[in-house]
């Protein structure tokens, strides 16, 4: 009788595990579907960068198309002195999608941005300082 009861209990447990596994795999499938929807939305956002609009004369300047950056501009702002007496300057980075971020240090920027953002910011800075050389540029770039 004891062996029979133990087998029934173990078979009940096995059924519960099977049900749990099935529910878990269903959740994975649902997650994959959501992930593809997010990917499609991201694709739509990126398509806005591929839109080519000719000027009044109908001419397309291909050089300008080559230099379109999602990061538009940045500004710096003094906020406070820190506990060591150093100025607390923050930089606000504006992107073409309307979003912006406040950053205090370069290392913070590296952790928050992806590689594409960093490359685009570097290109934007280099473009801004094509004709002039700012003080200490060799330390920054």
Position 65 scores a pLDDT of 47
Residues 82 and 132 occupy one common structural domain = yes
Residues 131 and 74 occupy one common structural domain = yes
Convert the pLDDT of each residue in 16-33 to its tens digit.
Answer: 555 555 555 665 565 555
In a domain, 56, yes or no: no
Nearest to 140 by CA among 44, 126, 66, 17: 126
Domain count, the chain: 2
Convert the pLDDT of each residue in 22-78 to its tens digit.
Answer: 555 665 565 555 556 777 777 777 666 666 666 666 665 555 544 455 555 556 666
Output the CA angle 120-41-99, nearest 5 degrees. 45
Name the pTM for this structure.
Answer: 0.27
In a domain, 112, yes or no: yes
Phi, psi of 53 (to 5 degrees): -120, 115
In a domain, 57, yes or no: no
Residues 86 and 39 occupy one common structural domain = no
Residues 77 and 130 occupy one common structural domain = yes
Report how far apart, in Å, the C-alpha atoms of 134 and of each of 34, 97, 126, 130, 140 are.
Answer: 47, 29, 11, 10, 10
User: Distance between CA 12 and CA 123 in Å, rounded?
Assistant: 64
Convert the pLDDT of each residue in 106-120 to its tens digit.
Answer: 667 667 667 777 777
Range of the domain at 23: 1-51
Residues 24 and 46 occupy one common structural domain = yes
In a domain, 44, yes or no: yes
Residues 36 and 81 occupy one common structural domain = no
């Amino acid at each position: 009788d004891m062996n029979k009861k133990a087998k029934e209990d173990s078979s009940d447990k096995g059924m519960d595990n099977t049900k749990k596994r099935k529910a878990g795999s269903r959740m994975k499938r649902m997650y994959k579907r959501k992930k593809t929807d997010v990917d499609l939305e991201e694709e739509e956002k990126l398509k806005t960068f591929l839109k080519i609009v000719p000027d009044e004369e109908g001419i397309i300047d291909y050089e300008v198309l080559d230099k379109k950056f999602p990061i538009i501009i940045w500004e710096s702002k003094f906020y406070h002195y820190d506990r060591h007496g150093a100025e607390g300057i923050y930089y606000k980075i504006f992107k073409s999608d309307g979003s912006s971020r406040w950053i205090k240090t370069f290392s913070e920027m590296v952790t928050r941005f992806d590689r594409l953002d960093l490359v685009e910011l570097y290109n934007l800075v280099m473009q801004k300082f094509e004709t002039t050389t700012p003080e200490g540029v060799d330390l920054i770039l």
